[in-house]
Amino acid sequence: MKFPTEAAERVARILAENGPSTASALAEELGTSTTAVRRPLAALHEAGLVAASERAPYGPDPGPRRGRPSRVFSLTGAGRAACEQAYDALALEALRFLAERDGRAAVAEFAADRADRLLAGVGSATTAVATVHEVAERLTEQGFAASVEPLARDGAQLCQHHCPVVDAAGEFSELCDAETQALGRLLGRHVTRLATLAQGDGVCTTLIPAQPADSHQSTSPADGEGSNSSQIFDPNMTASATRADTPAARRSTTPATHQHRKRVAP
């Protein structure tokens, strides 16, 4: 599907890169006036490429506000497809060829390697430590328009508002599965994918628990470890993610080793 005008395409691509936005935020990004942005937004909405609502399709409900709330615009599935149609079609064609020639196991192997490369370099090279925000920044650099939404009591949600290979991921779930496993290894947490653009949801949402992956395991008094069940999520939280040297270890579904440090008894 083609965009109604060149101005409409520019607006759509800003939405693809930055996620849901108001008309004023789009105008600021494009260096123009809000009035100038409303015409291409109306054309995109009429073409079914953009949806408008009173709140973003992710994060907590802001609750009642005074005055008329600003409308938030986001790409529909058709709008995302229009932004990435050529690239995604090539990716899908290549994956179909790989699956037919070598089987779905080969697709899974490719997906795992792709996920590792996608998140390569996140965190410190010496300590192998990454924060949730660093992961979101890396994903945004790769075209996923990611953000972190803290939850009131239990961790955070990692939201990806755009997917460069959404059609390919819709047919080959191995891409989403491998990405989720890579996130778990990097953050050292049992992450859970709650929604995906590939399955028709408005945003890819991954639940990041506040506690490390092995925090549920009990320790003996001799270890000197106390319970951390009252830990509160910090958006800048860090987690060790040991990067294995072998591809097989990197592709394990078990999150990376995250060992407790034993305290020495006085």
DSSP state of 155: -
Could you tell me if 189 and 212 are in contact, meaning their C-beta atoms sit under 8 angstroms apart?
yes
Q: How far apart are CA 27 and CA 37, in angstroms?
A: 6
CB atoms within 10 A of CB 227: 9
Single pTM value for the model: 0.56
Average pLDDT over residues 184-192: 91
What was the pLDDT predicted at 85?
65
Beta bridge partners of 238: 131
Domains located in the chain, CATH noted: 6-61 (1.10.10), 82-250 (3.30.1380)
Where is average pLDDT lowest: 145-149, 177-181, 219-223? 219-223
- Of residues 62 and 197, the one with the higher pLDDT is 197
Runs of H (alpha helix) within the chain: 6-18, 23-30, 34-46, 77-102, 104-118, 132-141, 166-171, 174-187, 247-250
Per residue in 108-161, pLDDT (tens digit) is 999 999 999 999 888 755 444 578 899 999 998 888 889 999 887 778 999 998
Per residue in 17-48, pLDDT (tens digit) is 888 899 999 999 999 999 999 999 999 999 99
Q: Give the percent of the chain with pLDDT over 70.
A: 69
Maximum alpha-carbon separation in the chain: 73
Report residue 225's pLDDT band, with 50, 70 and 90 as the boundaries: very low
- Of residues 235 and 6, the one with the higher pLDDT is 6
Where is average pLDDT lowest: 8-17, 146-155, 171-180, 251-260? 251-260
Average pLDDT over residues 204-221: 65
What was the pLDDT predicted at 234?
46
Report residue 213's pLDDT band, with 50, 70 and 90 as the boundaries: low
pLDDT at 165 over 80: yes
What was the pLDDT predicted at 251?
42
Mark residue 221 as left, alpha or beta (left: phi above 0; alpha: psi -120 to 50; beta: remaining): alpha
- Mean confidence (pLDDT) of the chain: 76
Q: How far apart are CA 202 and CA 221, in angstroms?
A: 47
Per residue in 55-101, pLDDT (tens digit) is 665 544 444 445 455 789 998 878 877 776 656 778 889 999 999 99
Average pLDDT over residues 186-212: 89
Q: How far apart are CA 46 and CA 261, in angstroms?
A: 58
Report residue 105's pLDDT band, with 50, 70 and 90 as the boundaries: very high
